[in-house]
Amino acid sequence: MAFVAGSVLPQFSAKSYANIIGANERINVSVMGVNSRGKALAQNFAGQENCNVVHLCDVDKRAIDKCLTAVSERQDHRVKTFVDFRKSLESKDVDALVIAAPDHWHAPASLLAMQADKHVYVEKPCSHNPNEGEILMRAAEKYGKVVQMGNQRRSWPNVVEGIQALKAGAIGRVYYGKGWYTNNRGPIGVGKKTAVPDWLDWNLWQGPAPRRDYKDNIVHYNWHWLWHWGTGEALNNGTHMVDLLRWGMGVDYPSKVSSNGGRYRYNDDWETPDTQIINLDFESGQTMSWEGRSCNGKDIEGSSVGVIFYGENGSLLIPSGNSYTQFDLDGKVVKEVKNAVQIDARNKSNPAEQLDALHIQNMFKAIKEGGPLHSDIYSGHKSTLLVQLGNISQRVGSSLDIDPTNGHIVNHSEAEKLWSRSYEEGWEMKL
């Protein structure tokens, strides 16, 4: 971890020490989308002693200025800024692109980065729709690049230990898993068409998505709840928990998916569900569910976010942080591994910086040594797909039969239309 550097050479600051350690070993990254989560990621990457943040890219001039100040507190390396990230990709100085732009950008930007010979760190979800995820898997093979998805819990030590305990039979055969996310999000109102602010490149913000008028309640966060750009709470936060469930239960693609819920709390422009339950059945005789409550923050199992696995001999809970608890069939605690790092699961930008650095270092090791990724694009796509299928079921209003060999929808023409999306002309994803 970078921030202990000053204790090794007291006469140097942490960031100046980073500049003299392994200069030829540092990985140079460009960060795309630096307003909130991207700013936190940029700071985290800048704080790694084997990394330089060389470029910051954003369509919001204000975000670039704020992030530039924040990054300068972590490193001395001079940073260039770009409105259009494609200009950054032209630079031979960039080894990897970090993507924290809105969801509709994740897959197209990842593909462009690989085609520019860059590695990729893409925040979840890896794609806006299933077809994009499949394109990214093929692209990773074609271009031979490292692609890590931001399922950071795959690198949290106690979470890893809990999953290993499951696989070693701690609670016997696991047949049901439940994940959840709760919050108290307010209304987003009814947007008004207005002039685009002078600090925003609205055309580039939309990028691959077909053009729509600017409204005053979309940028920066509320796009999550609009299908044209976002993917709802299911992919915004559900991806993390469904990934843990899929990992712990040892499953890939389901055989049946259903979803119930809707936008219940407020009457506004919010399109995705604020209340949703996704159920997934697997041919292995296992079932998982995810419950999302965006507008009622009552905890489940004492945590605003988490997963619990149920098996023949007990259950195992992984709450919001880097911890787990094993119970017997009567609910008595058998083993408890506590979290040494405080986590704020509802922090939208930076809930767990120290732990997330482990995920970053896993990617760096894969780049340098060719080691395995904790959340490569193949695993990332499978977990993303599960919640995408839930959203598709929600939108068509019926359960879906799924081909368990590849995750594709079977015999439902309306649902199959949502497997991909239309693009602004010239922005189509092409291998």
- Tell me where in the chain the CATH 3.30.360.10 domain(s) lie: 157-191+200-345+378-419
Q: Which of 153, 214, 272, 229 is nearest to 421 (CA)?
A: 229
Could you read off the pLDDT of 77-108 as tens digits, one per residue? 999 999 999 999 999 999 999 999 999 999 99
Which residue reads 């069939």 in tokens? 329
Q: Which band of pLDDT confidence, cut at 50, 70 and 90, is reported for residue 25?
A: confident
Binned at pLDDT 50, 70 and 90, residue 9 comes out as very low
65: tokens are 């200025």
Closest to 382 in 3D by CA, of 170, 173, 154: 154
Residue at token pair 């915004």: 236
Does 16 score more than 80 pLDDT? no
Q: What pLDDT score was predicted for residue 351?
A: 58
**Which pLDDT value is given to residue 273?**
98
Using an 8 Å Cβ cutoff, are 166 and 248 in contact?
yes
φ and ψ of 28, to 5 deg: -95, 125
Architecture of domain 2-153: 3-Layer(aba) Sandwich (3.40)
Residue 14 has a pLDDT of 45
- CA pair distance 374, 154, nearest whole angstrom: 6
The answer, yes or no, to whether residue 166 has pLDDT greater than 80, is yes
Do residues 172 and 311 lie in contact, with contact meaning Cβ atoms separated by under 8 Å?
A: yes
pLDDT at 65: 97
Tell me: domain 157-191+200-345+378-419, CATH 3.30.360.10, correct? yes
207: left (phi over 0), alpha (psi -120 to 50) or beta: left
Count the helix, strand and coil residues of the chain and give each as a percent rounded to the nearest 5: 35, 20, 40
Q: Which two tokens stand for residue 360?
A: 């970053």
27 beta partners: 51
110 phi/psi in degrees, rounded to 5: -60, -45
Nearest-angstrom CA–CA distance, 131 and 424:
16
Q: Where in the chain is the domain with CATH 3.40.50.720?
A: 2-153
What confidence category does residue 348 fall into, taking pLDDT thresholds of 50, 70 and 90? low
| Pairwise CA distance, residues 423 & 207, whole Å | 9
The Cα 37–Cα 162 span in angstroms is: 27
pLDDT surpasses 80 at 186: yes
Helices (H) and strands (E) in the chain, counts: 14, 16
CA separation for the pair 104, 108 (Å, rounded)? 8
Determine the Cα–Cα distance for residues 302 and 377; give it in Å rounded to an integer.
32
Residue 344: the pLDDT is 66
Mean pLDDT of the chain: 93
Place of tokens 């993390």: 240
